[in-house]
Structure formats: C-alpha cells, structure tokens
Structure 1
Amino acid sequence: MGQVVDTETAKEFIGEALEKVAAEELSAICREVEQKALWFQGKLSETHLPQLSSGEYYSLLRRVFATRRSANKIIETHPLESFRKQAMALLYGDEPVSERFRTFVAIFDDLPVHVARDLASEILHFTDPDRYWLWTRWMWDPRTKTGALPLVTTASYDFDGEDEGAVYMKIGEAIAFVHQVGDAAGFQTISREIYGTDVFLSCVYVIYVYTVLRIRMTQEFNRVMPELPEFSRRLLGVHRQVAHVEKTESLEN
C-alpha cells in the first residue's frame, strides 16, 4: 500500500486549528473525551452491562452526538433488555468485529443508517479504545463521500466496502495511519493517546464546515455558528450540556 496520509495537509489543518484555539484547550477536550471513555468502560463492562439501568441507557444515548436528540424514541423501539443483549453481542461476541458491527447496525435498521453506525462505533471505541476505533458520519459519510478522513488521506485510499462491517475495517485502517503520523503532522502536541487523534479529526471537520459555510452562507448565519472548541465537543459527545444527563441518571437509578 502506498502513502495513506497526506501529512502536509494534516499539518495545515492542525496549524489552522491552533490559530483558532490554544493547544491547552484542545488538550482539555482530550481529557473530557477520556472521561467519557471511562464512563463507557464502567457502564458497558462485561460484568456491569447485564445490569445497565434505564437511567444509564438514557445517559449513554445522550452522550452520543448522533443519538442525543432521539434518545427517548430509541428507547421506545429498543427497550433496555434488548439493548443490553445487542450491546453484549457487539462488544463481547465471538464473531469478527466487522460481523458484529454489521449485525448491530442491521438490528437498529429503524434508525437512519448513519445513526446506527455512529452508535455502534461509539460503543466499541469508548469501551475499548485500544482495540476499536470511531466511525462517525463527520469522519466519513459513504453517501456524500465527505468527512474529516478523506481531507487528510490521499485520494488513492479507498473507503468503500461491501457492507457496513467492511467499511468499518477500512476506517480503522485509515485512522491507524493518521494516528501513526501524528507526531510528524504536529497534532500529537494535543495528546499522544488515540483521543488526541479523535480531537484532531473533529478539528479537521469543524474547519472544513467553517470553510464551506463562509462560501455558501450569510455573515449573519456564520456568526451564530459555535466556536471550534464547542463544535468539537459537540461532535465528540462531551458538550458541557451533558452535565444535566448526570442529574437525570441519578434520579432514574
């Protein structure tokens, strides 16, 4: 395989991000993402997941950008016991992860496919970040062929696959390459952990969105767009509004 990551472009993106926000703020977002992961690891451990409470289930959905606004609807169509079963199979099943991922997405077929994919990948990644990776629509959208990853990889890299599981594996390969060149590209000043790569890719997407909106939208619309740190936090599910979820969870437990 030839070169996968466009290192020079990656450098440009992190340089532009650091013009908009201090490295310390991006590092703070990394720490918040790590705290999110610790929460997932506690609630979705093999021992705790079978006992997951309704409040914890709701809180989990509120921590995922794609499911935050539809948490109650998802709970109606996928009750707690069903979710426990599917999450156990996704995380701890014997099949290859590509098959487990594909099965989970298929079971949640009442949701838009990108929402089911986002939920599956966040469960995997934040429960076991050393083994699994994030695939959200803002990283790679197969329908529009857009996202953060194609902006920092070479045009020759093929993200397509025969099914959702195959694409998930392609995404993982690309993210692994991006993470490996992080030092050369300069974004591991944020963090050398995989969460630093997550934050970097969220910054890439935010800058891309800002660029598109500056061209297409009015100045008034652009002024109401969130600043980069807030936008990044929203994409990664660590927006400060999650604080009220903790209160809800404590009331429902």
Structure 2
Amino acid sequence: MALGQRASHIIKAKTGPDDPELLETLQEALSQVAVEDLIAVADDLAERHDRFVEGLGVPARIQRLTPHDWGWIARSSTVARRPATVLANSLAQLDMVPLVHELLFGDGPAAMRIATLTARLEGVDLRLRLELGTGLLHYTFPQDHWLWTRWLWDTTTQTGILSLLAGSTHNLQTNNVAEGYRNVGAVTSMSMRFAEGTGLLTPDLTAHPRRQLFTADVFLACAYSIYLYGITSWRLSREFNRLLPALPGMMRQLLGLTAGAGSC
C-alpha cells in the first residue's frame, strides 16, 4: 500500500449529475474568478515570503524565534485553524531550531531533508509534517521548492487537485516521503501547462518578479476552490449555498491566509 494510504469512502471522480442546476452553480463559481483575485493572493504570499526570509533566511535568526513565531509559522503552513493549533502545540514541545536549521541549510537534496524532518516529528499527523516542512522551504526559498499540502495531494485519502488535473493518481503514488515530494513537484509542473490555457496566467502574474514565484500556488488553490465550490454547492440547498465563502476566500483559506497578522 502506498505512503499513508487507507481505504476511503470518499469518491471524487464525478461532481454530480450533469443537470442545469449543477452547471449553473459551476458557472457562478467561475464567474467569481478574476485575474485580480489571483494577483492579490500572490501579493499576500510574497509578503509572507518576506516574513519567512526575515525570520528564517539566515541561520542565526532561527535561534531567535519565539513561541509566537512558531505559532505564526504553523498557521501559515496549514489549511485550517484546528490543525494549525495542533501543529503549534506540537512545535512548542520540541526543540525545533536544529530541525529547521537542517531542513533549510543542511546538505543533501531537499527531498531527503524533508523526509528527515518528517521522520523526526513522528507522532504528528503526516499531513501536518509535510505541510510544515514544504511550507518552510517554499516560503523561505520559493524559487527552488514547492508545497505539498493535503489539498494538493493527500496520501491518506488519495485525493487532491493534482490528481484531478492529472486525471490519475498514478504519477503521485509512492512508498516514501522523498519520492513523494519529487512526484508532487513533477505533477505540479505538468498542471501548470494546463493552466496556460485558462486565461488566468497573465503577464501581470507570471512576469512579475515576486508574483511569479507563487503562480502555481494561486492557480492550484483557485482550481481546487472551484472544484470544492461545485461539489459542495451541488450537495447543499440553495439556502446553504449562500453561506459558502466566495472563491477568493476559499483560496485564502487553502493557503492559510486567513490567520491573524504576525511576523517571525
């Protein structure tokens, strides 16, 4: 059985019947997407990058991180408040300085350093470990590293936007963290070729020196938000649909941008 895999009752091959109401719902979701939304989220991620560099970009600075800083890092790395709290509580009980120093500045390929970090955080949910490790690398050095979040590819439920865009889970299957990280990066790159035909990747996003570092993040968050909006709206009544956040809000939640302000 592949890394983290378990039998799941969640079947996401189809969003629902091909009826006018579902089509209308999906069109409503798509109509909420604007290039400006992606640009705004990319700008926020660029600001997050600045904070990560300020707190983690030089080895000596890691020593000065406070419990408040670790809480902010946890909130920035996970997709919901409760997992962020769980992660922050776990980090508070560990000596994270040498672990983070090795992850960011250690020798060897990044995939192996992520595998080492996840192994040393045994007892923490694997998805949280992966989100923390890849988030630390990506937001500190975004030009060289990528995210691996549960909404990109969840090894437990075998679901995520990457498998949906790829049309298969085949290229994401793995038995170890290092290989899994490389696979997620490869499928992310393939997905961006699909993104080029959407009209959302304008030069204001892809040619901007800061925003282009987070183009994949914002597009994939947008794509998954549309998917979630479609299947959730189909299953709920129209009254409950009004309670759903708009797509830009969903994107921000997926990327942990709803957390309160703070810095490293």
TM-score w.r.t. structure 2 length? 0.78
Maintained 8 Å contact 1:63/1:237: yes
Match in the other structure for 1:242: 260
Match in the other structure for 1:4: none
Match in the other structure for 1:42: 54
Amino acid at match of 2:47: Q
Change (3 A) 1:56 1:227: same
Amino acid at match of 2:65: L
> What pairs with 1:137-148 in structure 2 (closer than 5 Å)?
137-148=150-161
Change (3 A) 1:84 1:67: farther
For 1:163 and 1:74, the matched residues in 2 are separated by: 22
For 1:168 and 1:161, the matched residues in 2 are separated by: 9
Change (3 A) 1:72 1:183: closer
Change (3 A) 1:16 1:142: farther
**1:157-177: CA deviations, max 9, x gaps?**
511112112111001112223
Size of the alignment, in residue pairs? Answer: 231
1:188 Cα deviation from its structure 2 partner? 1.6
Maintained 8 Å contact 2:171/2:187: no
Moved over 4 A (4+): 15-18, 70-73
1:140 Cα deviation from its structure 2 partner? 0.9
Is 1:131 equivalent to 2:144 in the alignment?
yes
Maintained 8 Å contact 1:140/1:147: yes
Change (3 A) 1:91 1:121: same
For 1:157 and 1:73, the matched residues in 2 are separated by: 31
Match in the other structure for 2:36: 24
Match in the other structure for 2:3: none
Match in the other structure for 2:189: 176
Maintained 8 Å contact 2:221/2:255: yes
Counterpart among 206, 209, 212 of residue 228 in structure 2: 209
Counterpart among 58, 65, 78 of residue 91 in structure 2: 78
Match in the other structure for 2:82: 69
Is 1:98 equivalent to 2:98 in the alignment?
no
1:26 Cα deviation from its structure 2 partner? 1.9
Match in the other structure for 2:72: 59
* Percent pairwise identity: 29
1:75 Cα deviation from its structure 2 partner? 4.5
TM-score w.r.t. structure 1 length? 0.81
1:55 Cα deviation from its structure 2 partner? 2.2
- In proportion to residue count, which structure has more helix? 1
Change (3 A) 1:194 1:177: farther
**1:36-87: CA deviations, max 9, x gaps?**
1111122111231122222222221122234743555545443377111111
Is 1:153 equivalent to 2:166 in the alignment?
yes
Maintained 8 Å contact 1:140/1:148: yes
Counterpart among 204, 221, 230 of residue 240 in structure 2: 221
For 1:138 and 1:73, the matched residues in 2 are separated by: 18
Amino acid at match of 1:172: G
Unpaired runs of 5+ residues, structure 1, are: 1-14
1:212 Cα deviation from its structure 2 partner? 1.3
For 2:31 and 2:235, the matched residues in 1 are separated by: 23
For 1:67 and 1:83, the matched residues in 2 are separated by: 22
For 2:95 and 2:169, the matched residues in 1 are separated by: 41
Maintained 8 Å contact 1:104/1:120: yes
Amino acid at match of 1:28: A
1:17 Cα deviation from its structure 2 partner? 6.2
Change (3 A) 1:137 1:128: same
For 1:62 and 1:113, the matched residues in 2 are separated by: 16
Maintained 8 Å contact 1:50/1:84: yes
Q: Secondary structure at the match of 1:242?
A: coil
